[in-house]
Amino acid sequence: MSKAYVLVVDDEPDIRDLVREILEDEGYSVATAESAEVARQRLQEHRPDLVLLDIWMPGEDGISLLKEWTSTGALGFPVVMISGHGTVETAVEATRQGATDFVEKPLSMGKLLVTVDQALQPSATTSAGRPAMIEPVGRSPQMRALRETAQRVATSDSWVLISGESGSGRKCLARYLHGLSPRAGGTLVELGAGALTGGAGTEQLFSEAEGGTLILDEVADLDSEAQARLAAAIEANKQDVRMMATTARDLEGEVAAGRCRSDLYYALGVVPMQVPPLREHVEDVPELVAFYVDRLVERDGLNYRHFTVAAQNRLRHYQWPGNVRELCNLVQRLLVLGEQVEIDVNEVEQALSTPSSTGGAAETWPPPIGLDLPLREAREQFERAYLQQQLQRANGSVARLARLAGMERTHLYRKLRALGIDPKDASETAATGERG
């Protein structure tokens, strides 16, 4: 099953080329446009499944183009807005005009790929373009209690502060609360804390979410100036808005340390909710694995694979520092890289550990490094040898290499270029080996 056709609209050629290269490596079909005018031409040539649209472009801006598509009925595809100078106003205006998400420059390619995946999910949005309500998965006492609490909290208009470790599913819970609430038919505005930094205004923050819900992600990342402006906006707010804030930090501890305003903390934390880390409800791992397998097979067209009982048991006894996000990524990596229908405990063990050698190359590992070299040069030698060997293991796929090396895609591409490594060389070598 081929992946979707994505149109990238951005006036910066370096960004267009980098995004196109990474998306194509993921299997997407990609076209690019450097202006609104060219984007219209591309739209006539081939209707995209998703558009990544820059806001600030010479001539006609992205918001105006989005408005045009909305007003003419041409907007039959999700649009993710991109901006290097995002403000609350532009973010909420993009959402109001039909954009499904908003990402900021400099782009984090890991974040961008997740956003692209989410935007393309048929089950990710409702017919009105709002994120779907996905119930937290698990039958453990912790997850049953979380769902029961959510069902009670959802019926009120109280503001909610959702805490939990990174990757535990805090934003998913916020969307779940909104979907259960009487406001489910209203506007859902989601903003990262970064949209409020750098002097961005807050005047439209509440008016755009009138009658609905405002989700502010990673509120602890707000700088002192943004905290002051948000606290003032909350004090002056007369709109009918329910706010939910998420944080990976102990906000009460941040207050005690002087890094968070107490008035902001008390305003946001009327009803505190805590998402448990996965290591505290590992009995849910088999159910979560089944959920992610079904979702990835249906959404991404990956081949179905079955985890043996021994494999599931090994996953239950892992500590999961990255929580459910780490589990989801692991399941995806196993579906992508494996060939057999059955996933046994040895394959899981290998995926959980950091590989030190691959196949017939074991005798050349670790690579010889001159100890008389400066540290920087010695490190470069090791990194070059490590990445070349991992590229061989990934058959030249940078997507697989990123998963194996545990690196964010943008940093990985820069590292490969700095070390003079061409992924195509590894791909050709692997293909030659297969033919030989």
Q: What is the mean pLDDT of the chain?
A: 82
Q: How confident is the model at residue 390, as a pLDDT?
A: 81
Tell me the residue range of the domain where 80 lies: 1-107
More confident position, 190 or 312: 312
| pLDDT band, residue 143 (cuts 50/70/90) | very high
Q: What is the pLDDT of residues 294-303, one digit of tens each?
A: 888 877 678 8
Same domain, 301 and 197: no
Residue 120 included in any domain: no
Last residue of a domain, one of 324, 352, 380: 352
Same domain, 179 and 162: yes
Chain position carrying tokens 């819900």 = 213
pLDDT for residue 111 is more than 80:
no
| pLDDT band, residue 87 (cuts 50/70/90) | low
- Quick one: DSSP state of residue 304? P
Q: How confident is the model at residue 194, as a pLDDT?
A: 66
Average pLDDT value for residue range 73-78: 81
Same domain, 172 and 264: yes
What element of type H or E holds 174?
Answer: helix 170-180
Same domain, 340 and 265: no
Q: Is the peptide bond before 355 cis (omega within 30 degrees of 0)?
A: no
Q: What is the pLDDT of residues 215-260, one digit of tens each?
A: 998 898 888 888 998 998 898 888 899 999 999 999 999 999 999 9
What element of type H or E holds 232?
Answer: helix 224-236
Q: What is the CATH number of the domain that holds 179?
A: 3.40.50.300
Same domain, 252 and 289: no
Average pLDDT value for residue range 156-185: 92
Q: How confident is the model at residue 30, as a pLDDT?
A: 94
Same domain, 91 and 132: no
Residue 246 included in any domain: yes
359 φ, ψ (degrees, to nearest 5):
50, -135
Last residue of a domain, one of 323, 352, 381: 352
- Which amino acid is residue 161, in one-letter code? L
pLDDT for residue 129 is more than 50:
no
| pLDDT band, residue 358 (cuts 50/70/90) | very low
Beta strands in 179-329 (DSSP E): 188-192, 213-217, 242-247, 271-274, 306-307
Residue 114 included in any domain: no
Residue 261, classed as helix, strand or coil, is coil
Residue 365, classed as helix, strand or coil, is coil
- Among 63, 60, 110, 119, which residue's Cα sits nearest to residue 91? 63
Same domain, 156 and 189: yes
- Which amino acid is residue 391, in one-letter code? L
Residue 360 included in any domain: no
- Number of domains forming the structure of the chain: 4
Query: Cβ distance 164 to 248 under 8 Å?
Result: yes
| pLDDT band, residue 430 (cuts 50/70/90) | very low
Question: In a 10 Å sphere around its CB, with 0-12 CB exposed, 13-18 middle and 19+ buried, how is residue 184 labelled?
Answer: middle
Other Cβ atoms within 10 Å of 218 Cβ, number? 17
Q: How confident is the model at residue 236, as a pLDDT?
A: 86
Percent of residues, the chain, with pLDDT higher than 90:
40
| pLDDT band, residue 309 (cuts 50/70/90) | very high
Average pLDDT value for residue range 326-348: 89
Residue 7, classed as helix, strand or coil, is strand
Q: What is the CATH number of the domain that holds 394?
A: 1.10.10
Same domain, 188 and 259: yes
pLDDT for residue 98 is more than 70:
yes
Last residue of a domain, one of 253, 276, 299: 276
Residue 112 included in any domain: no
Q: How confident is the model at residue 372, as a pLDDT?
A: 66
pLDDT for residue 1 is more than 50:
no
Same domain, 347 and 394: no
| pLDDT band, residue 369 (cuts 50/70/90) | low
Residue 113 included in any domain: no
Same domain, 291 and 319: yes
pLDDT for residue 307 is more than 60:
yes
Q: How confident is the model at residue 123, as a pLDDT?
A: 41
Chain position carrying tokens 């697989």 = 400
Q: How confident is the model at residue 127, as a pLDDT?
A: 36
- Among 73, 39, 41, 75, which residue's Cα sits nearest to residue 59? 39
Q: What is the CATH number of the domain that holds 284?
A: 1.10.8.60
Residue 267 included in any domain: yes
Residue 116 included in any domain: no
Same domain, 136 and 244: yes
Same domain, 286 and 272: no
Q: What is the CATH number of the domain that holds 88?
A: 3.40.50.2300
pLDDT for residue 57 is more than 50:
yes
Percent of residues, the chain, with pLDDT higher than 70:
84
